[in-house]
């Protein structure tokens, strides 16, 4: 039986949601080197071996790797994404599990070619070792969701009217307009900057977001903020417009995608039973 696992491999952190599991670790990958001084390891420190190479992943990469980095490329179809997702599966599932993996890309990257490349990146059987424990996973199916859009749509099922979901990431800011439970494509998109790309004050960063949103969406509806820095930026947004923070801004995308695909898989199973 396949396990449904959602992995939102963001540039700042990798969020995982599965049955009974909610996990997070920093999306930092660095070179491995033997440590001369022993130190206590935390849940966010991982020595990962994959395809014959060793890496530090998570907090230990940030502290101990000279080349520790988080990629800020336009595409998320990269080796880094694959390593982060397989590491997340290792933290979530027992060895030799079969998993339906759901991940996501920004609204601006949402096209059939990007989705196809992401699926090719992850499909198949993969063996990975984390902190000395080797596991093999079988991934027969990959689905690619839309960052911000699914989370905003999920909120929209329970509220009327017009609002704008705003997902503040490290490299991009995604926004999705919801009107009476339905998203509006022409009022949704991706801003090409994020919390890690602009070395300016939070006040000016939020002003940049408001300037772009107010130019693209008129009139500007109430905002619902998502992303790991949402609560930190709330006061700055309140200067300009009506705004609130998602009840779980860090896992907003992963939670929504998990619920969506859990229902979708149940629907597919019921159709199969009827057809048989």
pLDDT score for 109: 79
Pair 223, 167: CB distance under 8 Å: no
Name the CATH superfamily housing domain 149-252. ATPase, nucleotide binding domain (3.30.420.40)
pLDDT score for 247: 93
How far does CA 225 lie from the centroid of its chain? Answer: 15
pLDDT score for 95: 97
Pair 187, 217: CB distance under 8 Å: yes
pLDDT score for 140: 98
pLDDT score for 275: 56
- Return d(Cα 104, Cα 127) in angstroms, integer: 22
Strand partners for 137: 97, 126
pLDDT score for 117: 95
In the three-class reduction of DSSP (H, G, I as helix; E, B as strand; rest coil), residue 136 is classed as: strand
Rg (CA), the chain: 19
Strand partners for 48: 55, 130
Across the chain, which has 276 residues, the per-10-residue mean pLDDT values are 92 93 95 88 96 96 87 83 97 97 88 93 98 98 92 87 93 93 91 88 96 95 95 96 95 94 90 60
pLDDT score for 272: 67
Q: Would you kindly state where each structural domain of the chain is located, as residue ranges?
A: 2-31+43-146, 149-252
Pair 57, 83: CB distance under 8 Å: yes
**Cα end-to-end span (Å), the chain:** 19
Pair 13, 26: CB distance under 8 Å: yes
> Quick check: pTM over 0.85?
yes
- Return d(Cα 187, Cα 182) in angstroms, integer: 12
pLDDT score for 49: 98
If one counts every other C-beta atom within 10 angstroms of the C-beta of residue 216, the result is 16
Considering only the top CATH level, what class is 2-31+43-146?
alpha beta
């Amino acid at each position: 039986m396949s396990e449904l696992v959602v992995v939102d491999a963001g540039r700042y952190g990798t969020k995982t949601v599965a049955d009974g599991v909610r996990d997070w670790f920093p999306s930092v990958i660095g070179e491995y080197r033997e440590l001369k001084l022993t130190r206590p390891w935390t849940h966010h420190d991982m020595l990962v071996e994959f395809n014959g190479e060793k890496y530090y992943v998570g907090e230990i990469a940030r502290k101990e790797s000279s080349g520790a980095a988080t990629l800020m490329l336009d595409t998320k179809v990269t080796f880094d994404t694959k390593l982060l997702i397989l590491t997340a599966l290792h933290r979530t599932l027992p060895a030799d599990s079969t998993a339906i993996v759901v991940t996501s890309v920004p609204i601006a990257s949402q096209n059939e070619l990007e989705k196809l490349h992401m699926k090719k990146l992850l499909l198949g059987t993969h063996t990975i070792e984390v902190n000395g424990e080797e596991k093999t996973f079988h991934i027969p199916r990959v689905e690619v969701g839309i960052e911000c859009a699914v989370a905003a749509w999920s909120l929209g099922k329970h509220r009327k009217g017009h609002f704008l979901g705003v997902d503040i990431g490290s490299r991009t800011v995604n926004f999705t307009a919801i009107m009476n439970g339905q998203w509006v494509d022409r009022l949704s998109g991706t801003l090409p900057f994020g919390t890690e790309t602009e070395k300016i004050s939070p006040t000016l960063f939020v002003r940049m977001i408001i300037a772009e949103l107010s130019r693209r969406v008129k009139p500007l509806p109430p905002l619902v903020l998502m992303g790991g820095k949402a609560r930190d930026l709330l006061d700055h947004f309140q200067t300009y417009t009506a705004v609130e923070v998602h009840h779980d801004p860090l896992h907003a995308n992963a939670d929504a995608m998990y619920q969506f695909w859990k229902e979708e898989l149940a629907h597919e199973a019921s159709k199969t039973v009827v057809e048989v």
